Chains A and B, each alone.
Chain A
Amino acid sequence: MADASDEMSFRPSPQASLGIELELQLVRPHDLDLSRDAADLLARLGRRKLPGAVKPEITESMIELNSSVHSGCSGLLAELEAMRAAVVEEAGVLNLRISGGGSHPFHDWAERRIFPNERFRAIVERYGYLAKQFTVFGQHIHVGCPGGDEAVYLTHMLTRYVPHFIALSAASPFYQGEDTSFQSSRLTAVSAFPLAGHMPFVADWAQFGEYFARMKGFGIVSSMKDFYWDIRPKPEYGTVEIRVCDTPLTVRRAALLAAYAQALAAHHLAERSLQPARSVYLVNGFNRFEACRFGIAGELVEPYSGTRKKIGEDILESIARVAPQAAPLGCGEALEELAAMVRVGQSDAAWLRARHGARGSLADVVRDACARWETPG
């Protein structure tokens, strides 16, 4: 076991490099409920040569795709597409279907079974039913940072954009067989954990190290993994990790979200025009709720100016602001595509609700979501 100082030494990585993790739903075709074939699917994928990595998650109904590190979003998208195709093909052999989306619309959490490994068993031991309820599906975006101080700064900066990422990715309107009226109901499952929330208001990596050492001294945490924050520095990867996104219904949207995170990071690390402010955390709870509940139609309070505006409007302004840094990274077109979706109010949550309206049953919603994920491109 590495000691605290090793664990907390920040491994620098190229500024604004990019990688994502995607948690996926394994669905059985005959009743469209979640299946529990993660181990079999992972064994099959393990025998293939894949660009990224595929890993187990807390219950046997999920798998996680990890991309490799990329400099831009087009490379990321190509890799995700190759992984998507491989997963769908191997799943077909086992009569499984794969779906994106932040929640399975009607599965019964009590029916889930924990993936048999030490870490997950320990989580169940500690958190009880929260562990099985944690069968929700998220996208995590990693953005590279040259050092720990930059990571702390970037974490403070990106917190302002938490409602953006929630609204842009929202894909969990249904939960436990009901329409939640939320665009993203998934984050509620995350909030139940005692170490959920956000990073404390520290100024630099040294202060963060002190905070971590104290928490470890109290015996509250043993590693960075124990913090279920919305955004957290990840010293072993040398990244800041955004964890609020639902897994979108397509790999394309997943890549677009990553491009947006990359452009924001490039912008803030280059300009350094804003200083971390406590007001960001003052309005965070309200903004976050608005985004979960109403998506891009919700309202947020801009923490630096104190003005109130539509989340969608704020996203469009922010995309325009970071455009100069986006172009050299090659993600200008991606941001335009994202902006176009915001302008017409297009979201995955709305798509899922529309399918439910057209088809009438949640089983059909799952089938359509699977078909969407399984379609190339």
Chain B
Amino acid sequence: MTLDFLPQLPFAFSQPVLFGALLVLGLLAGEAVRRYAALPRITGYVLAGVLLGPQASNLLSADALLDARLLVDLSIGLIVFELGFRLDFGWLRRNPWLLVTALAESLLCFWSIYATLAYFGFRPLLAAAAAAIGTATSPAVVMVVAQELRAQGQVTERMLLFTAVNSIFAYLALTLLLPFLYFEQASGWQDALLHPLYLLAGSVLTGFAASVLMLRLAGWIGQREEGQFVLLVATVVLTVGVAHSLNLSVLAALITLGMLARNLDRGHVLLPLRFGHGGQLFFVILFVLTGASLEFEALGVAAAVAAAFIVMRFLGKALALLAFGRLSGIRPGGAGLLAVALLPMSGLAVVMVQDTALFYPSFGRELADVVLSAVAVLELLGPLATQFALRRAGEAHPDG
């Protein structure tokens, strides 16, 4: 008897096992915090990630996280696609103050973080890059919390709209800072100019091409929900893959795809978007992996900076919203709640830091220290803030 048919020890678990276990643990943690602490499920997913990640048990090692990057991109891709799909140019046309408010929110928030970091003595380029990343609200968090609470109403709609605008703003600002990074590293001016140009034009074109493809095919498939659902997921996955292979921005390509699919659809061939339970799967993955990527060491050293970063970021957003909120037609009290709802920072910020680090490792390291300690705090506070704001605004479903 050789028992050769039995597996060798130690067991070499394949990716699916790890992946499945990650989902199950995330799910359980999400349910647990919801049931026993009345916290948003996201908080549980993130905690599961922290426990699995290099900071704690190291079941998800730093290498495993790097391998999982495509999964993160796919999840973020789906989320920003849906966010872009909700961005209605018609609304901005009918209510121009809304666009003014959204731009003011981004600008003031950027400036406020930048000034804070400059005050703490960070050099301008680092401060600007961190401020750009900090301007973005986490699309995933606001969308998941809104979905979980079944929130509907003006604060919810504006929260999604402003998140789309400040995410685009953050991406553009970060990309426009690239030439300065090249100069700092004393590279040639050709690279300095061509890289951001390639990123922007390439990502937008990819998104545009994908939207045209999606609309054409949807027109041919017709108004069949199952058919359109598969088409939607397929186009999103394809676009994420293409952006990934071409070193383009997944965020820019997918938000472009979402916006154009919605706003170029003159003949209304696309059915209203419903990812349903399928979307939930990607949310769990994203938040567990983001949780695993959190770093807490820097937090001890830079606690004061992180605290100032978070407070000034909030004040920047709040000031702009309070100044312009009424003009954009929000009810009294709505602007303040909106500022609170826009607090979350999460996976998108992590990805932006990682992308920068890919090309400029040392700069990326410095950036990570500043940004990721704020993310670590807001990852846990953000969902609570959004949940509080939407409930307080009376927009959460009574059973949500």
Pairwise interchain contact B91-A95, C-beta atoms closer than 8 A: yes
CB distance from B396 to the nearest CB of A (A): 10
Pairwise interchain contact B272-A30, C-beta atoms closer than 8 A: yes
Pairwise interchain contact A40-B154, C-beta atoms closer than 8 A: yes
Find chain A residues with CB under 8 A from B272 CB.
Answer: 30-33, 363
CB distance from B372 to the nearest CB of A (A): 34
Tell me the interface secondary structure of chain A in the complex.
loop
Q: A29-B90, A40-B153, A95-B88 are in contact. Are A360 and B273 (CB under 8 A)?
A: no
Across the A-B interface, give the 6 residue pairs with the lowest CB-CB distance, nearest first: A31-B272, A92-B94, A95-B91, A360-B223, A361-B223, A93-B329
Find chain A residues with CB under 8 A from B148 CB.
Answer: none
Pairwise interchain contact B88-A30, C-beta atoms closer than 8 A: yes
Find chain A residues with CB under 8 A from B175 CB.
Answer: none
Considering the complex, which residues of chain A in the window 356-371 have a beta carbon less than 8 Å from any beta carbon of chain B? 359-361, 363-364, 367
**Does A21 touch B at the CB level, under 8 Å?**
no
Considering the complex, which residues of chain B in the window 152-170 have a beta carbon less than 8 Å from any beta carbon of chain A? 152-154, 157
**Does B86 touch A at the CB level, under 8 Å?**
yes
Pairwise interchain contact B95-A367, C-beta atoms closer than 8 A: no
For A44, the closest partner residue in chain B by CB is B329
Considering the complex, which residues of chain A in the window 78-114 have a beta carbon less than 8 Å from any beta carbon of chain B? 92-95, 113
Pairwise interchain contact B152-A95, C-beta atoms closer than 8 A: no
Say which size band chain B's interface belongs to.
20 to 34
CB distance from A316 to the nearest CB of B (A): 38
Name the residue among B95, B153, B273 with the largest chain A CB count within 10 angstroms: B153
Find chain B residues with CB under 8 A from A353 CB.
Answer: none
Cross-interface CB contact of A30 among B86, B94, B154, B397, cutoff 8 Å: B86
Pairwise interchain contact A95-B157, C-beta atoms closer than 8 A: yes
**Does A23 touch B at the CB level, under 8 Å?**
no
**Does A36 touch B at the CB level, under 8 Å?**
yes
**Does B398 touch A at the CB level, under 8 Å?**
yes
Find chain B residues with CB under 8 A from A95 CB.
Answer: 88, 90-91, 94-95, 157
**Does B281 touch A at the CB level, under 8 Å?**
no
Return the CB mask of A44-62 against B: 1 if under 8 Å, else 0.
Answer: 1000000000000000000
Cross-interface CB contact of A40 among B88, B90, B331, cutoff 8 Å: B331
In the complex, besides A359-B223, A363-B272, 5 extra interface pairs with C-beta distance below 8 angstroms are: A28-B157, A29-B91, A33-B272, A92-B91, A360-B222
Q: A43-B331, A44-B329, A93-B95 are in contact. Are A35 and B152 (CB under 8 A)?
A: yes
Q: Give the interface of B toward A (CB within 8 A).
A: 85-86, 88, 90-91, 94-95, 152-154, 157, 222-223, 268, 271-274, 329, 331, 394, 397-398
CB distance from B53 to the nearest CB of A (A): 36
Find chain B residues with CB under 8 A from A33 CB.
Answer: 272
Pairwise interchain contact B88-A36, C-beta atoms closer than 8 A: no
Give how many A residues have a beta carbon under 8 Å from the other chain's beta carbons: 25
Find chain B residues with CB under 8 A from A43 CB.
Answer: 331
Pairwise interchain contact A364-B152, C-beta atoms closer than 8 A: no
**Does A37 touch B at the CB level, under 8 Å?**
yes
CB distance from A200 to the nearest CB of B (A): 39
CB distance from A108 to the nearest CB of B (A): 12
Find chain A residues with CB under 8 A from B273 CB.
Answer: 30-31
Pairwise interchain contact A361-B271, C-beta atoms closer than 8 A: yes
A94 to B398 CA separation, bound complex (whole angstroms): 23
A39 to B331 CA separation, bound complex (whole angstroms): 10
- Please list 16 pairs of residues, one from A and one from B, whose beta carbons are closer than 8 Å in the complex, sorted by A's number: A28-B157, A29-B88, A30-B85, A31-B273, A36-B153, A40-B331, A43-B331, A93-B95, A95-B90, A95-B95, A113-B397, A116-B394, A360-B222, A360-B223, A361-B223, A361-B271
Find chain A residues with CB under 8 A from B329 CB.
Answer: 44, 93-94
For B332, the closest partner residue in chain A by CB is A43
For A362, the closest partner residue in chain B by CB is B223
Return the CB mask of A305-342 against B: 1 if under 8 Å, else 0.
Answer: 00000000000000000000000000000000000000
Pairwise interchain contact A36-B94, C-beta atoms closer than 8 A: no
CB distance from B266 to the nearest CB of A (A): 12
CB distance from B84 to the nearest CB of A (A): 12
A44 to B331 CA separation, bound complex (whole angstroms): 9
Q: A31-B273, A363-B272, A367-B268 are in contact. Are A113 and B398 (CB under 8 A)?
A: yes
A25 to B271 CA separation, bound complex (whole angstroms): 20
CB distance from B330 to the nearest CB of A (A): 8
CB distance from A92 to the nearest CB of B (A): 4
For B91, the closest partner residue in chain A by CB is A95
CB distance from B332 to the nearest CB of A (A): 9
Pairwise interchain contact B154-A37, C-beta atoms closer than 8 A: yes
Find chain A residues with CB under 8 A from B397 CB.
Answer: 113
Find chain A residues with CB under 8 A from B331 CB.
Answer: 39-40, 43
A365 to B198 CA separation, bound complex (whole angstroms): 43
CB distance from A364 to the nearest CB of B (A): 6
Find chain A residues with CB under 8 A from B153 CB.
Answer: 36-37, 40
CB distance from B356 to the nearest CB of A (A): 33
Find chain A residues with CB under 8 A from B152 CB.
Answer: 28, 35-36
Find chain B residues with CB under 8 A from A361 CB.
Answer: 223, 271
Find chain A residues with CB under 8 A from B90 CB.
Answer: 29, 95
For A32, the closest partner residue in chain B by CB is B272
A35 to B331 CA separation, bound complex (whole angstroms): 16
Cross-interface CB contact of B95 among A30, A92, A364, cutoff 8 Å: A92
Find chain A residues with CB under 8 A from B95 CB.
Answer: 92-93, 95
